[in-house]
Structure 1
Amino acid sequence: MSTVNEDYHALLARHEAMRLRRRILSPGTESAAPQGLAAGRAGGGPRAIGRSSGASGTGPSPYGAADFDPASYDGAADQRVITEYLELVTPFGELITHLYETMFRRWPYLRSLFPESMEFQRAHLARAFWYLIENLHRPDDIAEVFGRLGRDHRKLGVRPVHFQAFEAALCEALRRTAGPRWADAVEQAWVRMLRFAVAAMVSGAEAALAEPPYWQAEVTAHERRRPDLAVLRVRTNEPYPYRAGQFAALESPLLPQAWRQYSIACAPRPDGELEFHVRQTCAGGVSEALVAHTRAGDTLRVGPARGSMTLDDELASDLVLVAADTGWAPVKALLEDLSARRRHRNVRLFLGAHSFADLYDAGPPSELERRRPWLRVTPVIGRRPGTGAAFGAGEDGYDALAEAVAEAVTRHGDWSGHQAYVSGPTAVVEATVARLTAAGMPPGSIRHDPLSDILRPSSRAVTGGPGAATAANTAFEGVES
């Protein structure tokens, strides 16, 4: 074993030993997180690992989850301070570059926790910073979002002690990026913000200790339905709990530590097989590895099922389902779930695609309806009027299709008394949800997966205006569809 790996495992061993010691000596008071959150540097602010941090075994870690209480954190006050000096460290590209350079230089064994390409990770961290700053006055929302993030980070091997290295590197990067105008009070506000978010992550991770961080799975079938799209079926080595309409993260051994979210395209089956529909969205990423370089017999890792785009046990209203492109995957699972029920509600399905050839898996509408008398299907094909060419605008070519789908949904009926499920490319989901809401459907009656676009700084600066809570879902759990 290399010296680097020996240092890494010794660090983890020291952390776990101190954690066990604190539990034995002081049950129920494992960490000093609330004090650290409230007091910033005065309560044990940024400390370098190896001097006085919990990682060295000489003091308690500031990153525990015991007694985590969002109400104890005055995020609005830190929000004002951070915002006042935000121009010194934005855009975040330079800050994040300095942060990772510092962390990997001082603790090189942490590099193995990250994928080989850091591009996605840098974008992920930038939108995490933006989300935190824009929502600091909403500590309950942050606690919920970062609790989910903490549960998901377990599959990466992240431990609370690692966040101490991140904090020290962040403080050094802030000073280096901001220059002489940087103020100690601003750094303390950043540290309190980070510690609050991390305490939520640690709390979320510890609440999920009974759940495996991931499942090993074998690819049982791999079918190319289009040059850029594949349907994969996999079987996990242990029972995998989930509900129709949920999604899961996949990791290919070709890209270690790089995970992407994909909807599960089937309801739970007796044989335990899972199905995923993957569209290649870029070169060199997870989607390309799954579409172009994965075959039957290969192994993948599957993260825990997530998402609330599921059917209630007792359906109280009729349903309207909207699916475009690989957004068909979770809707297919919902239809399987509905077909297995004895009592049915009327269901209207709008199926969007650039052309009939792009309906890669659903089959003809008549076939979908044949064994489901409670289902009516309306295909929405995005073509320019008067031409035979598929139309599309915007970066991914889905803006015009989005408008066609949204217009078709609102034109074909009043859905205010229905429950809606919307899935597909971000543009389609956003346009459809906006139209349904404008038509009078309560937001609570519309369910959709977290969106996959990057959360960018809003034009309202840091006001936390309408939509901030919804944006939280897009920040960290985007489903590729």
Structure 2
Amino acid sequence: MEAFAIARVQLSFASIVATPTGHERFAAAFYTALWADNPALRELFPAGMESMRQRFATAVGWAVNRLGDFPAVEAFLGQLARDHRKYGVKPEHFRAAGAAMLIAVRECTPLILWTAALEHTWREIITRLVAAMAIASAEDDLPAVWGATVVGHERVMPDLAIIRLETDSPIPFHAGQYMSVQTPHRPHMWRYLSAAIPPNPQGQIEFHVRRVSSGWVSPALVGETAVGDRWVIGPPLGGLHVDRSRGDVLMIASGTGLAPLRAQIMEMAMRGDNPRVHLFFGGKYPCDLYDIETLWHLAMTNPWLTVVPVVEEKENPWWHPVPVREPPSGLHRTMYGKLGKVVAQFGSWADRQIQIAGSPSMIKTTLYALSAAGTPRQNISFDPL
């Protein structure tokens, strides 16, 4: 597709999400149109749609902004299509979704921008995206979900737990990926979690979960999960990985965003030869660096790994009155400030392949800080969901 046509679609979508409520309005228009023409599909989705609407708008935005690299978009949408099999979505349903998306785009694009040529371009792009998803869903011969049993639940902070499971059969994921999970405490509600260890033949998996006070699922995961609970896990998603042919690596993580980067580092530690890795692990308080001991052990036994702790405050908060310990001997000294700004102080990192993992706001501010320092945008990877 011509660059001009892609730019026209990207401008159209930018106008849709330009307002604070643009994402929500677009997603609401999509689901309204989908269910109006296909009422039976409503039963496939959970009652509470807030998080699904947000993820839908985020995924569409990610794909639209990368239309110039269609193979990457196709791979991402293929993962989403396979993930939707857990809801009972079938390949033929994607055509209905494409029709609803065109209605939503037409309804939400400012009238002054909507032309016959723009509609034709949107229709062509949506047809390609829908076809990629339908093919991926139809050709997938893996299970739609996997069963798993909780074998460990460690409350490392009042609002953070490390949960270990054994799956009934190994899930074919790679270090750096994430999965959707459903627990008996919140049936029909799914939460995306990153694996914190690389895959192994025993089907063991570990998730690091932080409670979100306004969330539906995370409070139950942290506070109610017990050994013996049965979980359902969806197909692996995401593309974070270290390209061993591209040289050295910069990893930036805050909070439980550490999990996918930690899994990759653990997998690299099993090899004899690795590129250099600088990992900046940050949080607001020292206690947010909950897994610093593990990182210290990895750094001590792998000279290619440098771990830099970063915090905004020097003391822990009142609700976690644990004295701040000195960093382990041999670990880089703790640095203070906003994570993105601290990393950018060291330059543009233009010679590195860069991964960022954390909350959406952390990713956004870190991208801004790196861009201001001259970091090439194409060097940076992060997961859209």
Shorter-chain-normalised TM-score: which range? 0.7 to 0.9
1:217-265 CA deviation, whole Å, 9 max, x = no partner? 1111112222221111111111222222222222224444433322110
Work out the CA distance in 1 between the residues paired with 2:72 and 2:206. 32
1:274 aligns with 2:205: yes
Work out the CA distance in 2 between the residues paired with 1:445 and 1:257. 37
Partner of 2:342 in structure 1?
408
Note if contact 2:211-2:218 (Cα within 8 Å) is conserved in structure 1.
Answer: yes
1:205 aligns with 2:143: no
Task: Report the Cα offset of residue 79 of structure 1.
Answer: 4.7
Note if contact 2:181-2:233 (Cα within 8 Å) is conserved in structure 1.
Answer: yes
3-state SS of paired residue (2:180): strand
Match of 2:251 among 321, 327, 337: 321
TM-score by length of 1: 0.61
Task: State the AA in 2 paired with 1:161.
Answer: E
Label 1:77 to 1:421 Cα distance change in 2 as closer, same or farther (>3 A): closer
Partner of 1:426 in structure 2?
360
Task: Report the Cα offset of residue 141 of structure 1.
Answer: 6.7
Match of 1:231 among 146, 162, 166: 162
Note if contact 1:420-1:445 (Cα within 8 Å) is conserved in structure 2.
Answer: yes
1:115 aligns with 2:34: no
Work out the CA distance in 1 between the residues paired with 2:233 and 2:51. 19
TM-score by length of 2: 0.74
3-state SS of paired residue (1:363): helix
Task: State the AA in 2 paired with 1:304.
Answer: P
Work out the CA distance in 2 between the residues paired with 1:144 and 1:265. 23
Task: Report the Cα offset of residue 343 of structure 1.
Answer: 2.3
Counting matched residue pairs gives 361
Note if contact 2:182-2:191 (Cα within 8 Å) is conserved in structure 1.
Answer: yes
Task: State the AA in 2 paired with 1:446.
Answer: I
Partner of 2:280 in structure 1?
350
Moved more, 286-295 or 368-377: 368-377
3-state SS of paired residue (1:153): helix
Task: Report the Cα offset of residue 97 of structure 1.
Answer: 5.5
1:375 aligns with 2:309: no
Moved more, 295-304 or 121-130: 121-130
Label 1:402 to 1:250 Cα distance change in 2 as closer, same or farther (>3 A): farther
Work out the CA distance in 1 between the residues paired with 2:11 and 2:269. 55
Q: Which has the larger radius of gyration?
A: 1
3-state SS of paired residue (1:203): helix
Moved more, 325-334 or 426-435: 426-435
3-state SS of paired residue (2:292): coil
Work out the CA distance in 1 between the residues paired with 2:178 and 2:213. 20
Note if contact 1:116-1:255 (Cα within 8 Å) is conserved in structure 2.
Answer: no
1:162 aligns with 2:96: no
Give unmatched runs, 5+ long, in structure 2. 318-334
Label 1:95 to 1:254 Cα distance change in 2 as closer, same or farther (>3 A): same
Label 1:215 to 1:86 Cα distance change in 2 as closer, same or farther (>3 A): closer
Work out the CA distance in 1 between the residues paired with 2:157 and 2:99. 47
The within-5 A match list for 1:231-250 is 231-250=162-181
Task: Report the Cα offset of residue 388 of structure 1.
Answer: 4.4
Task: State the AA in 1 paired with 2:249.
Answer: L
Label 1:128 to 1:277 Cα distance change in 2 as closer, same or farther (>3 A): closer
3-state SS of paired residue (2:293): coil
Work out the CA distance in 2 between the residues paired with 1:361 and 1:86. 40
Aligned-residue sequence identity (percent) comes to 33
Work out the CA distance in 2 between the residues paired with 1:323 and 1:257. 30
Task: Report the Cα offset of residue 113 of structure 1.
Answer: 0.7
Note if contact 1:419-1:446 (Cα within 8 Å) is conserved in structure 2.
Answer: yes
Note if contact 2:350-2:375 (Cα within 8 Å) is conserved in structure 1.
Answer: yes
Work out the CA distance in 1 between the residues paired with 2:250 and 2:26. 45
3-state SS of paired residue (1:159): coil
3-state SS of paired residue (2:247): coil
Task: State the AA in 2 paired with 1:369.
Answer: A
Work out the CA distance in 2 between the residues paired with 1:95 and 1:435. 29
> What is the RMSD of the two structures over their aligned residues, measured on CA atoms?
4.4
Work out the CA distance in 1 between the residues paired with 2:299 and 2:115. 65
Task: Report the Cα offset of residue 131 of structure 1.
Answer: 6.4
1:415-467 CA deviation, whole Å, 9 max, x = no partner? 443333332223333343444455455444433x31xxxxxxxxxxxxxxxxx
Note if contact 2:179-2:192 (Cα within 8 Å) is conserved in structure 1.
Answer: yes
Partner of 1:301 in structure 2?
232
Work out the CA distance in 2 between the residues paired with 1:86 and 1:309. 28
Label 1:224 to 1:173 Cα distance change in 2 as closer, same or farther (>3 A): same
Partner of 2:190 in structure 1?
259
Note if contact 1:219-1:300 (Cα within 8 Å) is conserved in structure 2.
Answer: yes
Work out the CA distance in 1 between the residues paired with 2:127 and 2:312. 47
Note if contact 2:249-2:354 (Cα within 8 Å) is conserved in structure 1.
Answer: yes
Work out the CA distance in 2 between the residues paired with 1:235 and 1:416. 40
Partner of 2:332 in structure 1?
none
Task: State the AA in 2 paired with 1:352.
Answer: G
3-state SS of paired residue (1:357): helix
Match of 1:330 among 260, 263, 273: 260
Task: Report the Cα offset of residue 322 of structure 1.
Answer: 2.2
Work out the CA distance in 1 between the residues paired with 2:299 and 2:153. 27
